Amino acid sequence: MESSNLPLLLTIGQAAALVGFAPKTLAKWLYGYRPAPAGWPSPVKAGRSVRYRRVDIESWVDGLGGPSLGVTETIAEAASPPRRRGRPKKEAAT
């Protein structure tokens, strides 16, 4: 869906198509069933309708290319030994 053909205020379905998510995902974020990603724009109410500003969503997408996603941290965590389950044992007193 090309953004120049979209209206200024988008429905959940149009906003989902713009960013490539399922409309159910945006609905879950909207109604609080799942936390929205950081910086996701808040919707506006137009009468009884809930809409998203096209400009807000486009600026959110533009901001996604920022710092790295922490891939090295994930690799470092994977290299650490696995945690042991259960209660820790007392150290032997010498």
Say if 26 falls within a structural domain. yes
The two tokens of residue 74 are 């994930």
Say if 7 falls within a structural domain. yes
Say if 22 falls within a structural domain. yes
For the cut 80, the answer to whether the pLDDT of residue 20 exceeds it is: yes
**pLDDT tens by residue, 30-40:** 998 999 998 89
How many structural domains does the chain have?
1
Torsion over CA: 67, 69, 73, 75 (sign) = negative
The two tokens of residue 63 are 């901001």
**pLDDT tens by residue, 30-86:** 998 999 998 899 999 989 999 999 999 999 998 887 665 555 555 555 566 677 788
**Distance (Å, whole) CA 39 – CA 29:** 12
**Boundaries of domain holding 52:** 1-56
Reported residue count of the chain is 94
